[in-house]
Amino acid sequence: MSATSPLSPRELVDEYFIENRTRLLEIAAFLDRIDRADPSYAARDFRMTAFAEALDALAPGGSGARLDRIQLLLSDPRHTPLESLDRKSAIGAFDRSTPEARS
Amino acid sequence: MRYIDHHAHMVSRTTDDYQKMSLSGCVAVTEPAFWAGWDRSQADGFEDYFRQLTDFEPKRAAQYHIQHYAWMAMNPKEADDRELSREVLKRIPKFLDKPTVLGIGEIGLNRVTRNEIATYTEQIELAQAHNQLILIHTPHLEDKLKGTRISVDVLRGFSKLEPSRVLVDHAEEHTLEMILEHGYWAGLTLYPQTKVSPQRAADIVERFGPDRICIAGACDWGPSDSMAVPRFIMEMRRRKHSEELIHRLVFENPVQFLSQSERFRIRPELEREAIGSI
């Protein structure tokens, strides 16, 4: 099985550039929106801290490396179960600043 | 192209969805028992839901020429309630004799609590005792990595369980290898936001190959898409992947896994007829 698309690199850019340009602008608009509300807020919300680290992980890497790095950045890295149910649903990022996270 | 959606919560969808799915080539859906979006107060509520899955929903699907199958389980979102789980598990065996029930599912973990793990373990035991296929839900978002690791660890503790009779669903890039390397099937479920997009599913196939991978929409009561599998087919065609590869992922692979239940009526020998209709 090939580890690439049948499309050439040029065809991939031709096919996917516009939709990913749109996504890039959406992210920029999202960050600007938060800053307009409170420029200091993002640094205080662990979800946005993880988001910023994920943006840094977009720097060049091997095949699949960026996505895998971001998946890990946003994941609970621990191996131990919770002793009791704290809430019903996941929220998208893991708070690495808590004592439990460092244990 | 004919396709099978192995994970679709059709009780949450309108008949319009059945019609669209049929028009787009869907020939069978399998519906795991899951959370209704709110917690049920007693086991009787689950029993009514199981009757809906096994009596009513196959008839509704048949109106659109779609075969409907179901999986029985205490779902992960309510599995932390041990007392309720025990009551629900007592009521499952009588549904395993229904002609459209393929196995136990979707079982697994939500927030990965000790209670959830206990209920999950008991349901694997139940499946093993009744020689049932198993469909496993893996947790969402930040809980997926930890939850999948622990789910697989628990599975591996059952030495007599055949891995080829277990599908671990909602796999993503960071969990796929740990599922496949132990011989289990992996499901990629296509969601608008919280799981895998058709584009990323195609990327995963390009990176890891098509072996033991099935594609599903997992449409339910939340933001989801009953047309997710056709969108994946379109994405694969957009990249000029072969019709044979696409057909393998959306039809032959699910047939191979699901045919391990004698109740699944689309048999491998009919694949040749299906391939001829592409």
Q: What is the pLDDT of residue B278?
A: 47
Task: Rounding to the nearest 10 degrees, give the CA dihedral for residues B160, B166, B169, B171.
Answer: 70
Q: What is the DSSP letter of B273?
A: H
CATH number where B270 lies: 3.20.20.140
Cis peptide before B106 (omega within 30 of 0): yes
Q: Considering chain A, what is the average pLDDT of its residues? A: 92
Question: Is the confidence at residue A63, as pLDDT, over 50?
Answer: yes
Q: What is the pLDDT of residue B34?
A: 97
Which ipTM was obtained for this model? 0.93
Report the C-alpha gap between B68 and B91 in whole angstroms.
Answer: 21
Give the domain range for residue B143. Answer: 3-276
3-state secondary structure of B259: coil
**To which H or E segment does residue B51 belong?**
helix B43-51
Q: How far is CA B113 from CA A13, A81, A86, B181, in A?
A: 44, 5, 9, 25
- A18–B contact, CB cutoff 8 A: no
CA distance to partner chain B, nearest, from residue A39 (Å): 26
Q: Can you read off the two tokens belonging to residue B180?
A: 């496949």
- A61–B contact, CB cutoff 8 A: no
CB contact under 8 A, B239 and A83: no
- B237–A contact, CB cutoff 8 A: no
Query: Nearest-CA neighbor of A94 among A59, A56, A53, A40?
Result: A53
- B144–A contact, CB cutoff 8 A: yes
If you measure CA to CA, which chain A residue comes closest to B245? Answer: A1
Query: Nearest-CA neighbor of B278 among B237, B254, B244, B252?
Result: B244
pLDDT band at A53, cuts 50/70/90?
very high
Report the C-alpha gap between B121 and A24 in whole angstroms.
Answer: 43
- A67–B contact, CB cutoff 8 A: yes
Contacting residues of B for A15, CB less than 8 Å apart: 238-239
The mean per-residue pLDDT over the stretch A21-48 comes to 98
- Domain count within chain B: 1
Which of B146, B174, B210 is nearest residue A71 as measured by Cβ atoms? B174
CB contact under 8 A, A75 and B206: no
- B165–A contact, CB cutoff 8 A: no
Question: Is the confidence at residue A1, as pLDDT, over 80?
Answer: no
Alpha helices in B82-175, H assignment, sequence order: 82-91, 114-129, 144-156
On whether the CB atoms of residues B64 and B226 are closer than 8 A, the answer is: no
Which of B115, B150, B209 is nearest residue A1 as measured by Cβ atoms? B209
pLDDT band at A98, cuts 50/70/90?
confident
Contacting residues of B for A97, CB less than 8 Å apart: none
3-state secondary structure of B135: strand
Q: What is the pLDDT of residue B193?
A: 87
On whether the CB atoms of residues B98 and B53 are closer than 8 A, the answer is: no
Task: Rounding to the nearest 10 degrees, give the CA dihedral for residues B255, A6, B230, B6.
Answer: 30
Chosen for mutation from A4, A46, A89 (greatest number of chain B CBs closer than 10 Å) is A89
- A23–B contact, CB cutoff 8 A: no
Burial of A28 (0-12, 13-18, 19+ CB in 10 A): exposed
Contacting residues of B for A87, CB less than 8 Å apart: 111
Question: Which residue numbers in chain B have pLDDT < 50?
Answer: 278
**To which H or E segment does residue B72 belong?**
strand B67-72
CB contact under 8 A, A68 and B210: no
Report the C-alpha gap between B115 and B122 in whole angstroms.
Answer: 11
| Strand-pair category, B101-108 with B67-72 | parallel
pLDDT tens figures, B95-134: 999 999 999 999 999 999 999 999 999 999 999 999 999 9
pLDDT band at A21, cuts 50/70/90?
very high
CB contact under 8 A, B145 and A76: yes
Q: Mutual orientation of helices B198-208 and B228-238 as an angle, nearest 10°?
A: 60
Which of A6, A63, A76 is nearest residue B142 as measured by Cβ atoms? A76
Q: Can you read off the two tokens belonging to residue B134?
A: 């198993």
3-state secondary structure of B232: helix
- B13–A contact, CB cutoff 8 A: no
Report the C-alpha gap between A71 and A61 in whole angstroms.
Answer: 14
3-state secondary structure of B215: strand
- A101–B contact, CB cutoff 8 A: no
- B174–A contact, CB cutoff 8 A: yes
